């Protein structure tokens, strides 16, 4: 059993160099202010083949490593570590993040000061330290539509597409859910709503979790006091086609679970419409010589699989 004020869980899959930077940032994170915390870091490795487990054992002996023989997905891997954790707070971090300053302690201090907050997140920054959307509203049909048909950059970054105004990010504010790259949850909230739904292999698991936490009466908040660099999409980029399929399967599961079958069927119709437009685009690119025939075949296979579920 893991006992500490905070348990930081990092689920990794073939991101050794980024994982090293993440763990280094956690090692050097300063604990400032009046609240001194004890923290334990756990890495759950989803059967990486890039030497990640060996790197952790050699370079980060203080980190608890759970090396799995198969890739169980994000939710199941996090749940494995959370079942062994008995801390007031759990922080889920992606391996492509680097915490700045005392970000983990800052999140703990915020949660300590706001006992009605069941989950929260901090300020995410791009690799060049520019602004990155950290918080979102729960998925809607317009958001599904704009994924395929962005129309205008102002709409893409608007509330209609689930974004919060950038000016709000200078102070704490209530949100629907933070990006799963950095998500802290309170033990009492986890005990009330349960662990992550392992039916989500990849994507939407944190959205579903936050939806259940809010429905149980807890608040979810963003705080700018905790800053985290998020390099973004490094694990999923390795298998972009299959991950696109997982994304839409997960959204379909979320819609059916929380919004009902009619809502989910309308969302599926939007996806098919978007996939039809994507098919036309890649065929035009192939005809113009922008992409070759093997690339065209791979793209079309992914599109067919997205529409098959």
pLDDT band at 239 (very low <50, low <70, confident <90, very high): very low
Rounded to an integer, the average pLDDT of 267-283 is: 88
What is the rounded average pLDDT for all residues in the chain? Answer: 90
Q: Collapsing DSSP states into helix, strand and coil, what is residue 149?
A: coil
Position 213 scores a pLDDT of 98
Q: Of 2-6, 159-163, 222-226, where does the model show the most confidence?
A: 222-226
Task: Encode pLDDT of 118-133 as tens digits.
Answer: 999 999 999 999 999 9
pLDDT band at 208 (very low <50, low <70, confident <90, very high): very high
Q: What global pTM score does this model have?
A: 0.90
> Rounded distance, CA 18 to CA 232, Å?
11
Task: Encode pLDDT of 55-103 as tens digits.
Answer: 999 999 999 999 999 999 999 999 999 999 889 999 999 999 999 999 9
Task: Assess whether pLDDT exceeds 80 at residue 307.
Answer: no
Bridging pattern class, strands 219-230 and 173-174? antiparallel
- Beta carbons within 10 angstroms of residue 49's beta carbon: 8
pLDDT band at 36 (very low <50, low <70, confident <90, very high): low
> Rounded distance, CA 157 to CA 172, Å?
19
Rounded to an integer, the average pLDDT of 144-149 is: 87
Position 233 scores a pLDDT of 52
Residue 114, burial from CB neighbour count under 10 angstroms (0-12, 13-18, 19+): middle
- From the list 47, 94, 95, the residue with the least C-alpha distance to 71 is 47
Residues 6+ apart with CB under 8 A from 96: 15, 18, 22, 181, 230, 231, 232, 233, 234, 235
Q: What is the CATH number of domain 6-236?
A: 3.90.550.10
Who has greater pLDDT, 112 or 34? 112
- From the list 64, 117, 76, 124, the residue with the least C-alpha distance to 100 is 124
Bridging pattern class, strands 219-230 and 117-125? parallel
Half-sphere exposure of 214 (CA within 13 A, CB side): 17
Task: Assess whether pLDDT exceeds 80 at residue 276.
Answer: yes
pLDDT band at 198 (very low <50, low <70, confident <90, very high): very high
pLDDT band at 248 (very low <50, low <70, confident <90, very high): confident
| Cβ pair 131, 125 in contact under 8 A | yes
| DSSP assigned state of 95 | T
> Rounded distance, CA 11 to CA 181, Å?
10
pLDDT band at 146 (very low <50, low <70, confident <90, very high): confident
Task: Assess whether pLDDT exceeds 50 at residue 236.
Answer: no
Rounded to an integer, the average pLDDT of 12-40 is: 83
Strand partners, 44: 11, 66
**How many residues are recorded in the chain?**
309
Position 152 scores a pLDDT of 77
Tell me what percent of the residues of the chain surpass a pLDDT of 70: 93
Where do the structural domains in the chain lie, given as residue ranges?
6-236, 238-308
Rounded to an integer, the average pLDDT of 135-141 is: 95
pLDDT band at 241 (very low <50, low <70, confident <90, very high): low
| DSSP assigned state of 5 | S
């Amino acid at each position: 059993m893991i006992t500490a004020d905070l348990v930081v869980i990092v689920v990794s899959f073939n991101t050794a160099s980024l994982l090293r930077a993440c763990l280094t940032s956690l090692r050097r994170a300063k604990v400032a202010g009046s609240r001194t915390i004890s923290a334990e870091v756990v890495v759950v490795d989803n059967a990486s083949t890039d030497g990640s487990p060996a790197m952790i054992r050699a370079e980060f002996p203080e980190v608890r490593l759970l090396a799995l023989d198969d890739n169980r997905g994000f939710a199941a891997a996090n749940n494995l570590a959370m079942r062994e954790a008995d801390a007031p707070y759990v922080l889920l971090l992606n391996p492509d993040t680097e915490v700045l300053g005392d970000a983990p302690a800052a999140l703990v201090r915020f949660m300590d000061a706001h006992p009605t907050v069941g989950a929260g997140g901090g300020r995410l920054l791009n690799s060049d330290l520019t602004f990155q959307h950290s918080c979102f509203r729960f998925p809607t049909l317009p958001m599904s539509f704009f994924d395929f048909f962005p129309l205008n950059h102002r709409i893409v970054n608007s509330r209609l597409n689930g974004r919060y105004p950038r000016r709000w990010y200078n102070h704490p504010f209530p949100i629907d859910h933070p990006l799963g790259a950095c998500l802290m949850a309170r033990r009492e909230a986890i005990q009330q709503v349960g662990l992550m739904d392992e039916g989500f292999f990849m994507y939407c698991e944190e959205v579903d979790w936050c939806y259940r936490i809010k429905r149980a009466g807890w608040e979810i908040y963003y705080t700018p006091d905790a800053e985290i660099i998020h390099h973004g999409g490094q694990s999923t980029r390795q298998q972009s086609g299959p991950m696109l399929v997982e994304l839409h399967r997960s959204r379909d599961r979320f819609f059916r679970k929380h919004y009902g079958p009619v809502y989910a069927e309308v969302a599926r119709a939007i996806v098919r419409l978007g996939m039809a437009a994507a098919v036309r685009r890649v065929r035009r690119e192939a005809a113009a010589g922008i992409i070759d025939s093997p690339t065209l075949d791979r793209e079309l296979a992914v599109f067919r699989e997205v529409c098959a579920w």
